[in-house]
């Protein structure tokens, strides 16, 4: 299948301002791009003025861009067509746990606590809840089931400073909170888990009338490989397109600024298409956006 994805973001700043972005499709999916996902950045005061960007890979292998916004602000736009196999997230109930002594070196960091994932605060709770569940896939799925049922989802609950331990106590959150809590509980029982964000359209599921947004989920290392889990939806989905991976939302913020600014416009589109020329983005009032410059949703 073909999936059209993209964004239209406008940011106002009064003075010249430095930004970094994590909005490019992840290197692991670049080969699936049927059309380039090149970011176009223009000045809001002078739309004919193109603002240059400089790309590099961050510490987690994500494509990062550095941008110097001129006074007045910038518009960031991209659109691409991605080939996708159209398959549901893989399932392997027989995937076993990998003891820490046998983990790949690059997986060890995903056992440690991080900004939003306080393993020290939740370790006792995790072992009391899941210590008797068979390790491996069953234990991770049990964690996903608990988080899915424990937290109430709602955009009004969004708070960019909420940690996993706070989400557990407050019992509310958005997709990033579901991911953070599940990641933390996995790490507490020695399952490496990493945060992912990207595009996830309503493909193979009933359409959601809410404006489109970026999504957060997580991956757990069991059975010798990384598997996708989604504590918010708790169902296998079609058409995930990863943008970035990291320890938690701190590492994969869609937009980081180094000074004050205002988000004026935020549009995201992710949908299966037949005609790659027919994109009409869903408009969204920036004041009501669920986009956070501090971390992904």
pLDDT in tens, 219-268: 999 999 999 999 999 999 999 999 999 999 999 999 999 999 999 999 99
Residues 117 and 177 in one domain: yes
- pLDDT value of residue 296: 35
Contact assessment for residue 14 and residue 70, using Cβ atoms and an 8 Å cutoff:
no
Lowest mean pLDDT among 131-135, 149-153, 251-255, 285-289: 285-289
Residues 164 and 149 in one domain: yes
- pLDDT value of residue 19: 96
CATH of residue 136's domain is 3.10.620.30
Judge whether 160 lies within some domain.
yes
Total number of residues shown for the chain = 297
Domain total of the chain: 2
Residues 191 and 104 in one domain: yes
Residues 129 and 226 in one domain: yes
Residues 71 and 185 in one domain: no
What does residue 106 show for φ and ψ, rounded to 5 degrees?
-75, -5
Query: What is the end-to-end Cα distance of the chain in Å, rounded?
Result: 26
Alpha carbons 185 and 4: distance in angstroms, whole number: 34
Q: How far is CA 259 from CA 14, 15, 17, 20, 89, in A?
A: 10, 9, 6, 12, 39
Query: What range does the domain containing 272 cover?
Result: 2-85+253-288
Contact assessment for residue 115 and residue 108, using Cβ atoms and an 8 Å cutoff:
no
Residues 282 and 176 in one domain: no
Judge whether 267 lies within some domain.
yes
Judge whether 94 lies within some domain.
no
Residues 211 and 270 in one domain: no
Residues 25 and 165 in one domain: no
Judge whether 90 lies within some domain.
no
Helix (H) or strand (E) holding 6, with range, is: strand 2-12
Residues 247 and 257 in one domain: no
Residues 234 and 109 in one domain: yes
Percent of the chain with pLDDT over 90: 89
pLDDT in tens, 25-35: 999 999 999 99
Residues 80 and 175 in one domain: no
CATH of residue 259's domain is 2.60.40.2250
User: Per-residue pLDDT averaged across 140-157, rounded?
Assistant: 97
Q: Where are the beta strands (DSSP E) in 70-201?
A: 74-83, 152-153, 172-173, 193-199
């Amino acid at each position: 299948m073909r999936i059209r994805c993209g964004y239209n973001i406008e940011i106002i700043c009064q003075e010249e301002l430095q930004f970094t972005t994590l909005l490019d499709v992840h290197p692991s999916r670049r080969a699936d791009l049927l059309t380039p996902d090149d970011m176009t950045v223009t000045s809001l005061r002078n739309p004919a003025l193109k603002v240059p960007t400089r790309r590099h890979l961050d510490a987690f292998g994500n494509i990062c861009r550095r941008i110097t916004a001129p006074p007045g602000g910038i518009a960031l736009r991209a659109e691409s067509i991605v080939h996708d196999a159209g398959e549901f997230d893989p399932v392997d109930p027989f995937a076993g746990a990998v003891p820490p002594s046998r983990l790949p070196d690059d997986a060890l960091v995903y056992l440690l606590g991080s900004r939003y994932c306080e393993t020290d605060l939740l370790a006792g709770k995790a072992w009391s809840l899941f210590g008797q569940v068979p390790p491996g896939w069953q234990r991770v799925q049990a964690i996903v089931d608990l988080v899915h049922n424990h937290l109430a989802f709602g955009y009004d609950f969004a708070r960019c400073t909420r940690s996993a331990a706070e989400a557990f106590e407050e019992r509310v959150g958005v997709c990033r909170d579901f991911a953070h809590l599940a990641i933390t509980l996995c790490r507490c029982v020695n399952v490496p888990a990493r945060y992912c964000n990207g595009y996830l359209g309503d493909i193979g599921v009933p359409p959601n009338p809410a404006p489109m947004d970026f999504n957060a989920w997580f991956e757990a290392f069991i059975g010798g490989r990384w598997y996708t889990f989604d504590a918010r939806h708790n169902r296998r989905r079609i058409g995930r397109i990863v943008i970035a991976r990291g320890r938690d939302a701190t590492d994969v913020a869609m937009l980081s600024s180094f000074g004050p600014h205002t988000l004026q416009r935020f549009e995201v589109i992710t949908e299966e298409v037949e005609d790659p020329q027919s994109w009409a983005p869903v408009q969204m009032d920036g004041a009501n956006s669920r986009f956070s410059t501090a971390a992904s949703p």
